Amino acid sequence: MKIVLFSPLANTSAIGRVTALIVPALIELGHTLTLVRTEQVHILSAPPHACTAPIIEWTNEPAVEEATHDADALVYQIGNNYDFHCGGLHWLAKRPGIVCLHDFVVAHLFAGWAETRRAEADEVLHSWYGKSVAQSFFAARDHREFIDTASRDHPMTEWICAMAQGVISHSRWGMPRVLRSTAWPARVAALPYNAPAARPAAERVGNRVKVLTVGHANVNKRIESVIRAIGESAELRGRIEYQLCGRIEPRYALELARAARAVGVRLRVSGEIDDLELQMAMNEADIVCSLRWPSLEAASATAIEGMLYGKAMVVTDTGFYSELPDDCVCKISIGDEIGELRQVLERLVAEPSACHAMAARAQRWAEATFTARNYAAQIEGMTRLVRSAEPAVAAAGTLAGYMNDWGASSDLLLTDEITKPLEIFDLRD
């Protein structure tokens, strides 16, 4: 098959890293690949992840038109960052295809898209969520309020999936919204990821314990909660060094440093670091905290990477993280977050053998699960499903059009008398 894959490729993009992993796997299956970079114009000059396929830029309309006009499949990698995915949105609206949905909450993506399309954005919000959301979406007072309301009331999942012809996502927790917004096939596939410098999980040596949080530091990563949990325990304060690796706003870094000093926690804020430094930090860590509340992503690259590196993982019991095996990670409930964090960290610190055993199980499971070969096969299979679904989707669309012309309400279209006979055409997983 000839596949055109739309994706960010800047070497700062985790989704670009995923794309670079699956390209050789698709080529190995016998497919021909063309990649379309989807970042904002000012990012397109950034060095890309190394890929073994031709690359064109989404702004090169003639080249994209030529690549897509006889393609067997168009595949769009879509996440929640408008700067990385604006080109994907542009072409998805013109050339629908399979969407690989990396985040179930794409409200930031929508907000970026809406900046130059406010009237159209209001219509989208009104049609999916009602008039009150259309009026309140852009009125959040700060980032925390925006995330809280979007994850609860208007994640914009439906907006993206309604444009897709087939959806692949990476966990089950957000799939009900996906299935409500598309008639096309949808399925779950494990996100491919790698850990190029990983070593076999090893038991901790020495008294000092290194705890690590990776990624853009923001409120939903629960860093303050980790600091407070360590600070409440004399045993943890005396043994743990807590390191943050990833982009962080100076004001937030100062807030965290003050919070850590106030409770006697050794905090090291490394900021953005290069791949070699991150690999070193991962290998030196004993415990990786990959906490999220609210959870936005379909899968967590940080959690997957931590398992691949053979680290003891502490995660929030929500979303993607809830679906990880219970014997491979420690899960924290948001209801007693700080208390449970303290207890889990105390146990991991006090029992190095048990900590190592859990990390080793997670490493084995992750190595077998998050593979590019499996993901490439899922894209291949989804392409076949989409082809077979085309007649049924067209027929259902024609029927819905007739009923709409006759004045049928949306409630009538959802009655069992209409929907039950159409279930014979349902190819969604």
Say whether both 288 and 364 belong to one domain.
Answer: yes
Instruction: List phi, psi (to 5°) of 7.
Output: -165, 150
pLDDT score of 395: 67
Given 338, 369, 400, the domain boundary residue is 369
49: left (phi over 0), alpha (psi -120 to 50) or beta: beta
Contact 115, 138 (CB under 8 A): no
Residue 257 lies in a domain: yes
Q: Which residues constitute the domain of residue 251?
A: 209-369
pLDDT score of 399: 65
Residue 201 lies in a domain: no
Residue 400 lies in a domain: no
Say whether both 170 and 246 belong to one domain.
Answer: no
Say whether both 335 and 228 belong to one domain.
Answer: yes
pLDDT score of 36: 98
Q: What would the two tokens of residue 204 be?
A: 């901790």
> Per the structure, how many domains does the chain have?
2
Q: Convert the pLDDT of each residue in 71-85 to its tens digit.
A: 999 999 999 999 999
240: CATH: 3.40.50.2000
Say whether both 35 and 96 belong to one domain.
Answer: yes
Residue 299 lies in a domain: yes
Say whether both 217 and 328 belong to one domain.
Answer: yes
pLDDT score of 15: 97
Residue 199 lies in a domain: no
> Which helix H or strand E contains 213, and what residues bound it?
strand 209-214
Sheet holding 186-188, edge to edge: 55-57, 32-37, 2-7, 73-78, 98-101, 167-169, 186-188
Say whether both 162 and 269 belong to one domain.
Answer: no
pLDDT score of 422: 65
Say whether both 213 and 88 belong to one domain.
Answer: no
SS3 label, residue 375 = helix
Residue 160 lies in a domain: yes
DSSP state of 218: -
Say whether both 89 and 174 belong to one domain.
Answer: yes
Q: Who contacts 371 (Cβ-Cβ below 8 Å, separation ≥6)? A: 190, 192
Say whether both 317 and 258 belong to one domain.
Answer: yes
Report d(CA 345, CA 300) in Å as an integer.
21
pLDDT score of 17: 96
Given 369, 387, 413, the domain boundary residue is 369
Question: Which regions of the chain are under pLDDT 50?
Answer: none
Which amino acid is located at 280 in the chain?
M
Residue 314 lies in a domain: yes
Q: Convert the pLDDT of each residue in 386-409 to its tens digit.
A: 999 887 776 666 666 666 677 776
Contact 192, 375 (CB under 8 A): yes
Report d(CA 57, CA 66) in Å as an integer.
13
Say whether both 184 and 260 belong to one domain.
Answer: no
Given 369, 401, 420, the domain boundary residue is 369
Say whether both 163 and 237 belong to one domain.
Answer: no
Instruction: List phi, psi (to 5°) of 300.
Output: -110, 110
Q: What would the two tokens of residue 406 be?
A: 């006759």
Instruction: List phi, psi (to 5°) of 100.
Output: -95, 105
Residue 420 lies in a domain: no
10: CATH: 3.40.50.11930
pLDDT score of 82: 98
Say whether both 162 and 233 belong to one domain.
Answer: no
